[in-house]
Structure 1
Amino acid sequence: MFAQIIAICIFATMFLLIILDKFERHYITLGSGALVLVLVFGVCMRSMSAIWETLNLGAFFQSTFWYGASEESTAGINWSTILFIAGMMIMVEGLGKAGFFRWLCLTLAKLVHYRTVPLLICFMSLSAFLSMFIDSITVVLFLATVTLELAQTMKFDPVPMILSEIFCANLGGAATMCGDPPNIIIGTSLGYTFFDFIENTGAVVAICFVFMLIYFTLCFRKELERAEHANVGPVTCPEPSTAITNKKAFLASAGVFLLAVVLLITHAQTELSVACIGVIVAILTLIVLGLTSGKKSVIEIIKGVDYKTLLFFIGLFVSVAGLEKTGVLNMIANFITSVSEGNIAVIVIVILWLSAITSAFVDNIPFAATMIPVIRAIAATEGMDIGVLAWALSLGTDLGGNATPIGASANVVGTSASAKGGYPIGWGRYCKYCVPATIIVMAVSTAYLFLRYL
């Protein structure tokens, strides 16, 4: 009991400090993680095994970490996620070095005739669509970089676009089994396929996306149009072809990107883990840039990796492990069974909304993994279709994470990319737009589950 109280206090303090934004957040989560290891696992639990399991260093020496493993959530540092993000960061740095993003942003700007509102709609659609097949982290890294490049040329604030891209990436990821980590866990644990998700969660995501197009356009239209009208005369951008200064580096980097897309889409068939894919992509990026642009470019790419974000994730994983190993997440899960009292409608509402609220503050991967045995037990006890509970859990964990900057991995990566580009996104500005949007999509999801399944 004392260990649970300490774990909750540490996490709550960490969360408060992140909101106050007085210190760099990677220092906050690393400090919180250190306190969990020492006070919760060391002093209170006196468990070296808990510390070792949380550090999870043995994962690197398991063959299933690299090949043949189903996506599973483990308590502690998820090194698979860390390596994958690092690999994607290196790839994005390589693409930027080769001029790929500048070429793409100039091409998109030309296609929409240098109008900011059509560009917002274009990026939202691209974010949602790509996230159905590619991890939302990759999509947000890619589009945030493009947006920052384009904002410099067209002279507008990129934050509105980045916020909408983050939201739509998480929204699109909810539509398929491979789009978001919780869906992978739910699908592999309960035996659902890619097309099961498309048929069930994909349908409501399509409806929600229409609402979000309208919502974000109404929120940001005037701001973007003011920036557009503030420019004296028409915006003139160079031709996209001028962005390609090294054709070999450009084609090679684009080839690595396409390979990454293929590997991510087919990783269930190839059985390559996301950690392995991240390492492959990083190594190939460094090799092709080294051969086409020289060793200096390789050094610049390595220096350009956002190590602060990686450290933030490491500290956050350890902090969440404190809640998981002390049974706090299990207490939340057990709460659902006690308040429902056998009412199917109440069970669905509680799972959907509690998953959403919890996922806004706690990493949704361990929560989804914790909830799976709970919904399996509820379905068996109450004699109800487990699919309804699975779709409620999926929508709650995927969409609820949109509400805060730390609710999902894509949020952290997107806001970090924006800050790195000179446009920090505070909690106030993020929540001002994304909390109402999250409430809208959750309301639509609630209505959808009732109309279709209850």
Structure 2
Amino acid sequence: MAAQILAICIFIGMFLMIILDKFQRHHITLVSGALVLVLVFGVCMHSADAIWKTLNLSCIFTPGFWYGPSGEGSFGINWSTIFFIAGMMIMVEGLGKAGFFRWLCLSLAKLVHYRIVPLLLCFMTLSAVLSMFIDSITVVLFLATVTLELAQTMHFDPVPMILSEIFCANLGGAATMCGDPPNIIIGTSLDYTFFDFISNTGAAAAICFVLILAYFTVCFRKKLLQAERENGAITCPQPGTAITNRAAFLASAGVFLLAVILLVTHAMTELSVACIGVLVAALTLLVACLTNGKQTVAEIIKAVDYKTLLFFVGLFVSVSGLEETGVLDIIAQFITAVSGGKPAVIVVIILWVSALTSAFVDNIPFAATMIPVIRSIAAASGIDLGVLSWALSLGTDFGGNATPIGASANVVGTSVAAKGGYPIGWGRYCRYCAGATVLVIAVSTGYLFLRYL
């Protein structure tokens, strides 16, 4: 009992500190994780085995971690997630240095002859598609930056476009296993493939994306058309100006294409996502070295967001404290009891609670916490674990769109806008995105009922 109470207090304290945002997130989770290892597992439980099991270092040295059936336990630090995210970060840094994202945005602007409403639709689509394969934070960062640049040249308010890009990035991220951090955690923890997500959450994301295209077009069309009529002739940078090293650009684009192919086929090749992440990172660094020299390699490695990786490590340890002490089993039993064991009620609870929670707190720790919960619910009630997983994925990914702090991509997008002289307050953000979030969660509820229940 003492271990359970202490694990709960540590976890709640961690969550509150993340919400208050007074300290860096990785410091909070690392301190929380250290307290779990020392106080919960060491002092209260006197279990060295629990500490070693949570660190989960041995899994890295098993063949299944890299190839074939997963050799990694579901408990403790999910090193597959860490390796995969690190590899994708390195690839994205290589693409950015090669000018890939800026070239893509300028090419789309030229394709639509710099007309603002078609550009809005193009950037929404680009945001959703890129976020299926690249972390949504990076996608929003590059798109928002280029949007501000185009807005200065074309004289329009970039806020509607940035809001749309943020929303669609989270929609696109929900469609695949590698698109959003919660999905990466769900996929690696429960051994789902890229195709598992595409064929389940991807279908829901596609339906919602069509609705959101129409929604934001109706919301912003009049204002953007007015700006377009007032502009007159416009001269914008040519796409080719984004490419300073053609060899680096083509090779980096090739690595990105290879990463997509490996992710799509990893159920057939049996390469783990950790293996894919390491392979893609190695190829990116090799390309950078051959085309731009060792200095660029050092710059890419330095630019990796190590704070986020450490955040994940501390988070996994903190969640393990709740799992090892049986707290998450109690939560699962409570949800099952409240729902009367009815699958439809359980799915609705998970979807809407995930969405509501993710609107106000970071969806990453919530998803990590809920994975062992839904595993316990599935085992106790006999409900298909996949259905609960898709409900959790859609709830956390879509619900994060409701507020400026609901997902990391939201924080990045609004920060870029503010630095560019276009601050987005809670009122303006929620006026457009909160209603859209309720819409996509409602559609997701209908989708889950029609397809699985």
TM-score, reference length from structure 1: 0.80
After superposition, give the CA deviation of every residue in 1:269-301 in whole Å (9 maximum; x if it has no partner): 111111111111111111111111111111111
Unaligned runs of 5+ in 1: 380-385
How has the CA–CA distance of structure 1 residues 234 and 57 changed in structure 2, closer, same or farther, with 3 Å as cutoff? farther
Check conservation: 1:86, 1:310, Cα contact below 8 A. yes
User: Which residue is 1:446 aligned to?
Assistant: 445
After superposition, give the CA deviation of every residue in 1:361-410 in whole Å (9 maximum; x if it has no partner): 7442563354235325423xxxxxx55x7435412333334434899xx9
How has the CA–CA distance of structure 1 residues 73 and 220 changed in structure 2, closer, same or farther, with 3 Å as cutoff? farther
In the aligned structure 1, how far is the partner of 2:85 from the partner of 2:202? Answer: 25
User: Which residue is 1:12 aligned to?
Assistant: 12
How has the CA–CA distance of structure 1 residues 224 and 54 changed in structure 2, closer, same or farther, with 3 Å as cutoff? farther
User: Which residue is 1:364 aligned to?
Assistant: 367
Is 2:142 aligned against 1:145?
yes
How has the CA–CA distance of structure 1 residues 35 and 42 changed in structure 2, closer, same or farther, with 3 Å as cutoff? same
Check conservation: 1:324, 1:330, Cα contact below 8 A. yes
Matches within 5 A, 1:295-306: 295-306=294-305
User: Which residue is 1:290 aligned to?
Assistant: 289
User: Which residue is 1:245 aligned to?
Assistant: 244
In the aligned structure 1, how far is the partner of 2:278 from the partner of 2:197? Answer: 30
How has the CA–CA distance of structure 1 residues 119 and 16 changed in structure 2, closer, same or farther, with 3 Å as cutoff? farther
In the aligned structure 2, how far is the partner of 1:210 from the partner of 1:428? Answer: 25
Deviation at 1:262, TM superposition (A): 0.9
Matches within 5 A, 1:172-211: 172-173=175-176, 180-181=183-184, 184=187, 194=195, 198=199, 201-211=201-211
User: Which residue is 1:125 aligned to?
Assistant: 125
Aligned identity (percent) is 54
Whichever residue aligns with residue 329 of structure 1, its letter is: L
SS at 2:75 equivalent: coil
Whichever residue aligns with residue 207 of structure 1, its letter is: I
How has the CA–CA distance of structure 1 residues 53 and 401 changed in structure 2, closer, same or farther, with 3 Å as cutoff? farther
Of residues 164, 168, 179, the one that matches 2:167 is 164
How has the CA–CA distance of structure 1 residues 171 and 80 changed in structure 2, closer, same or farther, with 3 Å as cutoff? closer
Matches within 5 A, 1:34-433: 34-70=34-70, 74-129=74-129, 134=133, 137=135, 140-142=137-139, 144-155=141-152, 156=158, 159-173=162-176, 180-181=183-184, 184=187, 194=195, 198=199, 201-217=201-217, 235-354=234-353, 356=355, 360=363, 362-365=365-368, 367-372=370-375, 374-379=377-382, 386=383, 390-404=386-400, 411-412=407-408, 415=411, 432=430
Deviation at 1:339, TM superposition (A): 1.9
Of stretches 84-93 and 304-313 in structure 1, the one that deviates more from structure 2 is: 304-313
Deviation at 1:242, TM superposition (A): 2.2
Of stretches 216-225 and 84-93 in structure 1, the one that deviates more from structure 2 is: 216-225
Deviation at 1:222, TM superposition (A): 7.6
C-alpha RMSD of the superposition? 4.0
After superposition, give the CA deviation of every residue in 1:201-227 in whole Å (9 maximum; x if it has no partner): 55443332233334444566688779x
Check conservation: 1:42, 1:48, Cα contact below 8 A. yes
After superposition, give the CA deviation of every residue in 1:288-337 in whole Å (9 maximum; x if it has no partner): 11111111111111122122222222222222222222222222211232
In the aligned structure 2, how far is the partner of 1:61 from the partner of 1:348? Answer: 37
Deviation at 1:163, TM superposition (A): 1.9
SS at 2:237 equivalent: coil
Unaligned runs of 5+ in 2: 153-157
Check conservation: 1:67, 1:271, Cα contact below 8 A. yes
SS at 1:266 equivalent: helix
Of stretches 356-365 and 41-50 in structure 1, the one that deviates more from structure 2 is: 356-365
In the aligned structure 2, how far is the partner of 1:280 from the partner of 1:426? Answer: 39
After superposition, give the CA deviation of every residue in 1:233-269 in whole Å (9 maximum; x if it has no partner): 6553221122222111111111111111111111111
In the aligned structure 2, how far is the partner of 1:230 from the partner of 1:324? Answer: 59
In the aligned structure 2, how far is the partner of 1:223 from the partner of 1:114? Answer: 16
How has the CA–CA distance of structure 1 residues 331 and 287 changed in structure 2, closer, same or farther, with 3 Å as cutoff? same
Whichever residue aligns with residue 322 of structure 1, its letter is: G
TM-score, reference length from structure 2: 0.80
In the aligned structure 1, how far is the partner of 2:308 from the partner of 2:424? Answer: 16
